[in-house]
Amino acid sequence: MAAFRARFARDPRRIAAAPGRVNLIGEHTDYNDGFVLPIAIDRRTVVCIDWSPDSTSHIHAADLNASVDLPALNSLRPDASINIKVDADAARIRTGSWVSYAAGVLANLAAIVPPLAARGVDLTIASSVPLGSGLSSSASLEVGVATAAAALAGASITPRDLAALCRDAEHRFAGVPCGIMDQYIAAMGRHDHALLIDCRTQAAELVAMPGADRAEVVVMDSRVKHALASGQYAERRETCRAACRVMGIDSLRDASPELLTLHAPGARSPATLSPVEHARARHIISENARTLAAAQALRAGDLEEVGRLMLASHASLREHYQVSCPELDTLVELAAQVPGVFGARMTGGGFGGCAIALATPHAADRLVREIPAAYRARHALPHGLDARVFVTTACDGASVIA
């Protein structure tokens, strides 16, 4: 609101917000047609919007102190090679720039909401989700922009369709081949619930979380992001596909522990997995089972079991999928030592970003107070940064605030 007033010297016509998220369990399963179990968190991106006086759109990112002007929203195209270039009939937006996230969403919306093709918008973005920490600032921006712009144009779009449109924008404009989890939970999250998403059928089922008097989710941001992350991500995807070819299946969702044994290195099968393929597939198969078991344990209120599954997930990601890093291992190890912590694990793609813990309120307070110093004693962070540790609860997905 303040950012909009400062930039445009009037009040916005609509305000919308969409949350970031953490994934409780189900890591690297999304692109293997598997299960994930995220919650929306109480950090969100707020988007203020009004029609602009003409067909030019003015987008301001308060957190980056950056602004950009865009021509007709139905003329926007992604382009890997340039910043922003306006030709006679189209404006080309550099793939992956901050603008590409907002512009992609507006372009996709303008294709199905005629008023947005005809008029420009004035729009500000301000977020309490840390950018690029694995808490899905990108999807919270996308879903926030989509919710605000749809409300401004009077278009009613289901949360599911809105999420799909945002994901498509992240694919084509931002150039990130993400799964559906981030946009789904940002659009469809519910207070006090996790969302069990079947990434194959895209079915999404709410699962009640324990009351905040019994357990809280603690987010522990390692503040590191190792450069090999995106290359390793592409490599893991390719290894999973290779493992499927060996086992004669379309996706690791269809693999069972028995099938894995049949094709294990050294087995008598004509087609055997390499040790690396075997380890990666083993993680995915067991992680899908853990995710379903964790949803069941949540429903039953069995937090000890949820915690055990989280710790097993982390061990599998560290040993078999090999996407953890010393900093994330430290955070999980430190948290797991505190009495009242049910479990902890890295969350997100790995090689940095965040870990989470499920803990009693008392233990959660201890983690907030004690983790930063204990972490600092083990890892030297650049520029005197500390681990960022905060308590969150499962929150609602995107909404129009005003």
CB of 266 to ligand ADP, least distance (A): 39
CB of 98 to ligand ADP, least distance (A): 4
Name 154's Cβ contacts closer than 8 Å, sequence gap at least 6: 115
CB of 180 to Mg ion, least distance (A): 12
When binding is defined by CB under 5 A, the residue of 138, 222, 291, 330 that contacts Mg ion is 138
* # chain residues binding Mg ion, by CB under 5 A: 2
- The conformational region for residue 228 under phi > 0 = left, psi -120 to 50 = alpha, else beta, is alpha
137 vs 291 by CB, closer to ligand ADP: 137
37 vs 99 by CB, closer to ligand ADP: 99
What's the per-residue H, E or C state across 316-382? HHHHCCCCCCHHHHHHHHHHHCCCCEEEEEEECCCCEEEEEEEECHHHHHHHHHHHHHHHHHHCCCH
From the list ligand ADP, Mg ion, none, pick the one residue 79 interacts with, judged by a Cβ distance below 5 to 8 Å according to partner type. Answer: none
23 lies in the site for Mg ion, by CB under 5 A: no
211 vs 231 by CB, closer to ligand ADP: 231
12 vs 130 by CB, closer to Mg ion: 130
Catalytic annotation on 182?
yes
195 vs 303 by CB, closer to ligand ADP: 195
From 23-31, 131-139, 144-152, 365-373, give the range in contact with Mg ion by CB under 5 A: 131-139
Instruction: Copy the structure tokens of residue 158.
Output: 């289901």
CB-based burial, 252-283: b 16+ in 10 Å, e otherwise: bbebeeebbeebbeeeeeeebbeeebbbbbbb
From the list ligand ADP, Mg ion, none, pick the one residue 25 interacts with, judged by a Cβ distance below 5 to 8 Å according to partner type. Answer: none
What does DSSP assign to residue 21? E
How far is the C-alpha of 394 from the C-alpha of 265, rounded, in Å?
Answer: 42
CB-based burial, 66-79: b 16+ in 10 Å, e otherwise: eebebbbbbbbbbb
Instruction: Copy the structure tokens of residue 191.
Output: 């207070």
Beta bridge partners of 22: 39
Spot the catalytic one: 182, 198, 213, 396. 182
Q: Please list every residue from 73 through 92 that binds Mg ion, using CB under 5 A.
A: none
Position of minimal CB gap to Mg ion:
138
Q: Which H/E stretch holds residue 220? A: strand 216-225
Instruction: Copy the structure tokens of residue 393.
Output: 């609860």
CB of 2 to ligand ADP, least distance (A): 15
Task: By CB under 6 A, name the binding residues for ligand ADP.
Answer: 45, 61, 63-64, 98, 101, 125, 127, 131-138, 141
Residues marked as catalytic: 182
Q: Which chain residues interact with Mg ion by CB under 5 A?
A: 136, 138
